[in-house]
Amino acid sequence: MPHLNRRRLLGASVAMGLIGKAASAADRAAQDLASPDRADDAKALAPRVRRLFDFDWRFHLGHAADENRDFGFGRDQKTFAKQGQGVALPAAADFDDSGWTQVDLPHDWAVGLPFARNDFFTLPSNPEDGDPTAGHGYKAIGRRFPENSIGWYRKVFTLEPGDDRRRLSLEFEGVFRDAYIILNNYILTRHESGYTSFSVDITDFVNADGPNVLLVRADASLGEGWFYEGAGIYRHVWLVKTDPVHVPQWGVWARGEVSGSVRLDIETRNDADADAQIIVTSRLFDAAGHIAAEVASPVSLAAHSQATVTQAAQIAKPHLWSLDDPHLYTVRTELSRDGQLIDAVVTRFGLRDMRFDAQKGFFLNGQWLKIRGTNNHQDHAGVGVALTDTLHRWRVSQLKAMGANAWRCSHNPPAPALLDACDELGVLVIDETRMMTSTPEGLDQLAALIRRDRNHPSIMLWSIGNEETAQQGTERGLKIAQDMRRVVKTLDPTRPVTAAMNHHAGYGITPALDVMGFNYHEQDIEPFRKLYPDMPIIGTETASAVSTRGEYVRDDVKGYVRAYDLDAPSYAKTAEAWWSFYNARPYLSGGLVWTGFDYRGEPTPFNRWPEISSHFGILDTCGFPKDIYWYYKSWWQDEPVLHVLPHWNWAGKEGQTIPVWVYTNLDSVELFVNGKSLGRKPCAKDSHIAWDAVYQPGEIVAYGYRGDKVVQKARRQTAGAAARLSLSCDHDVLRADGQDVALIRVEALDGKDIPAPTASDLIRFAVNGPGDIVGVGNGDPTSLEADKASERRLFNGLAQVIIRTRKDQAGELRLAASMKGQRFSLHLRCI
C-alpha cells in the first residue's frame, strides 16, 4: 500500500469529504477536480475542468406553428443547407436578448404556464362527459398550444487561454424534449429523448478569442409519458474541458465484490494526431479519505483511437455498502504522459452483494431483506420537474424516514442527483428506461442509461418496460425484450433484468426477464409461480390507494377522497391489504407503492377538471405526509409510532359518529374522547385500530402501551380560527451556490397554538436577502393557483414556499409571510 503522505490525505479529503452530506452540483464538480497528490496546491489541479453551466441563461418562448415567431428557425426550408449560417436569429452574436427572461437551471417552463381544460397528450374529448386527457396536469402546452410549446435558451460565454488546445464538450443531464443544440450558428445535434443524458463535442465550433453563442431549442409539442413531464432544460448542464488524451464520458466502470476484489474497466481516448504512450493509475479511497488500493497500467494509444484498460485491485478490509451503513468508495483515475498528469476523473462505487431468490425473497450482503419501496415521478410543487440536487435528496430522505428502503424511477431514467442521494442515504433503486423498443433509438437510450448509472451501488434492477399492454404478452414483445436484454447483459452482467407487467405474467416477454415485476393483480401470482417456479417476484407497483391530505369525507363535487385507508381503484388494493399480502409471503421480494409523492396528472378516481394532480401519494405534492404515511412508518421501521386521525374540528356534526383510527406498532392503544375512555384495543400485525366516537368539541387522546406500560401519547384538539403562522425549515444554513433550496413549511395555528387543520387563508410571501422564491404549493389536488407566485392559500392548514439561493451571495435571508394583516418571519443564513 502506498505511503499516506500529507498531500494524498488532503486530496482525499477534498475528493471524499462531501460524501456524507448533500453535495451540490458544484461540489460534485469540485470532487472531479481535486487531486489527491496535489490538493494543497490549487494551481496543480488536474487539467480536466468540469464546470457547472447552469447560470446566466436567457429564455424565450417560440412558436411551433409560426416560423416567423420561432425566430426564423426553419422559415425558408434552408435550415441545414449551409453550415454555420442562417440557423436562427438568436444565433447571431449581436442579437438583442434583453427582452428574454433571465433564468438559471434547472428550469421548467411548463409549470409556469396557465391551466387549460385539456392537456397536450391527446386531443380533447367532450369536456362535459369527463376529460380523459387530464394525464399531464391540464397545462396549456402541446400541439393545441403551439405558442407555449417551443422554448429557446440562449447563453453567451467566452473561453479561457489554452482552451483551443483542449477537447471541449457540453454534457446535458436532461432536456424535455426534442432538443436542437446550436453553437455559433452550427446545429451540432438533435436529441429527441426528454430523459436520457447526452454529450456534445463542441471543440471544432468554438470561438477561441471571442464570444460563443449557445442556443438550445426544446420542443415539447409531443409527450413521452402519460404524466406531467414539464418542458425545458430541467437538469444540469456541464462544460467539460480535457486533454486530447482523456477518459470519455462514463468511461470508468468499477465492479466490486464483497471480498474486496475490484475490477476497473477504463476507456481511454486519443483525439490527437500523434500516438500516445500513457500510464493509467487508479487510486481507491474509502469514505474517510484513506487510500485503500492503487494500481497502474501502461497503455499505447494510436492517434484518433480508443482503448479499454482493465485493472484489478484488492481492498484489504472491505467495508460493505448497506441500507444502514451506505459506505461509498471512490476511485480516482489518472492519465499521465512523460510523468505529467493530463487527465483525472473521480468515480464512486460500493461493495455489496444482492440476490433474488424465488423461494426466499431478496438478500443484501447475505441478509434477508423485505423490499419496502415507492414509485416516484420527478415532480414537485412549485418547481415542476426542475428539482435541484437538494430537493432530490430531501424527497428521498422523507421516504427513508418513513421506513422505505427502495425507489423505482417511474418511468424513465432519473436525474444523477437522485441516484447520488440513494447511494448516500442507503436506498435501493429500480432504474427504468423510457422506451420499450429494440429500435436503434430505443437501444441507444437503454445503453446510455446503463453506461451512466452502473457504478451506483443502490441500483438492484434494470427495468426494460412498464405495462406495455400491446406487446408484453406477445411473441413480438419477446423478440424486443430479448434484444434489450442483450444490451443490458453486455453492458452490465451483474444485475438482473425486470419489467413491470400488469397482465400476461408468465407469457410474452417473461423468458427475457430475471425477476418478474408484478403491477397489482395479486390473484395472478400463484398461477405465475406454477409456470415459473424458479423466477423471483417483486411488486413493481402495489397499492394505488388514493387519499387527500386532511380530508375525511369523500366529496365528488370538490374532487377529494378520504384520508382513511379505504379507497383504491378496482385493479388495486388499500395500503393495509397489499402490504399484509406481500409481508405474509416470504417468497415475494417485496413491493413498491404507487406512489411515494403525489404528482401532476393521473387524477384517479375523478379524472376530470379541475383535478390537476394525483391522489396516489403517501405524501402530497409538497411532501407533507398524509395520514397513511404513519401506517407505513408503523410497519416499515422499528421506532415506536402512534398517530391518531382524523382532526377534531367537526362544526355542525355535534352528536354524530366520527370514525377514529390509530396507526401504531405498539401492543395496544386506549382512546379517550374528552376524558372518557372508549376502551383499550390490541393492534394486530400490519393493521390499524378503529373506534366510533361521538363528536363534541374538545380533544381525542390516544395512549400507546408496551405491555401494561404507557410509552407514547397522541392528541388531536379542536382548534379555533387561524390566528398566526408557524414557519419552519429543516435547516437554517444554506449554501450560497445558486443551487441550494429551502423548503419552508407554513402552518396555521389558532390563538392557543393548536394547529388549525381546515384553514384555507391566503398567505403572501416576500424575501429579503440573497434568495428568491422559486415556487409555492399546498398539496391541494384541485388548486388552479399559480406555482410561480408570491402567494398561496393554505390547504387544510398547510402551504409550502421554496426559496433558492443566489450564486456567490452570502448573508442573512428573511422570509416574511402575511396573513390577515399580520406578518410572520423566518430567518435563514446563506454561506
Spatial distance between the Cα atoms of 198 and 177, rounded to a whole number of angstroms: 12
Would you say 383 and 787 are in contact if contact means Cβ atoms under 8 Å apart?
A: yes
Q: Quick one: 288 exposed, middle or buried, by C-beta within 10 A (0-12, 13-18, 19+)? A: middle
| Dihedral, CA of residue 715, residue 717, residue 722 and residue 727, to nearest 10 | -10
Spatial distance between the Cα atoms of 188 and 180, rounded to a whole number of angstroms: 8
Stated as kind and residue range, the H or E segment containing 631 is: helix 628-636
Spatial distance between the Cα atoms of 480 and 622, rounded to a whole number of angstroms: 39
- Say which residues have a Cβ less than 8 Å from residue 461's Cβ, sequence separation at least 6: 429, 430, 431, 495, 496, 497, 498, 515, 538
Would you say 789 and 737 are in contact if contact means Cβ atoms under 8 Å apart?
A: no
Spatial distance between the Cα atoms of 285 and 9, rounded to a whole number of angstroms: 10
Spatial distance between the Cα atoms of 111 and 385, rounded to a whole number of angstroms: 8
Residue carrying the nine cell digits 407555449: 148
Q: How far is CA 288 from the centre of its chain?
A: 27
List the one residue out of 534, 563, 543 whose CA is nearest residue 551.
Answer: 563
Classify residue 806 by its DSSP letter. P
C-alpha cell at 494: 451483474
Please list the residues that pair with 669 across neighbouring strands. 681, 704
What's the Cα-to-Cα distance from 800 to each of 142, 205, 622, 746, rounded to whole Å?
29, 44, 7, 6
Sequence letter at residue 765: F
In the chain, the largest separation of any two C-alpha atoms, in whole Å, equals 90
- Say which residues have a Cβ less than 8 Å from residue 653's Cβ, sequence separation at least 6: 695
CA atoms within 13 A of residue 721's CA, in its CB half-sphere: 4
Q: How far is CA 211 from the centre of its chain?
A: 35
Spatial distance between the Cα atoms of 485 and 481, rounded to a whole number of angstroms: 6
Please list the residues that pair with 830 across neighbouring strands. 734, 811
List the one residue out of 725, 747, 738 whose CA is nearest residue 774.
Answer: 738
Strand 406-409 with 689-694, pairing: unpaired
List the one residue out of 465, 514, 526 whose CA is nearest residue 356.
Answer: 514
Helices 416-425 and 440-453: crossing angle in degrees, nearest 10, is 40
C-alpha cell at 761: 387563508
List the one residue out of 268, 217, 287 whose CA is nearest residue 17.
Answer: 287
CA atoms within 13 A of residue 783's CA, in its CB half-sphere: 24
Would you say 379 and 599 are in contact if contact means Cβ atoms under 8 Å apart?
A: yes
Q: Could you give the 3-state DSSP secondary structure of residue 78?
A: coil
Please list the residues that pair with 51 across neighbouring strands. 239
Enumerate the active-site residues.
467, 541
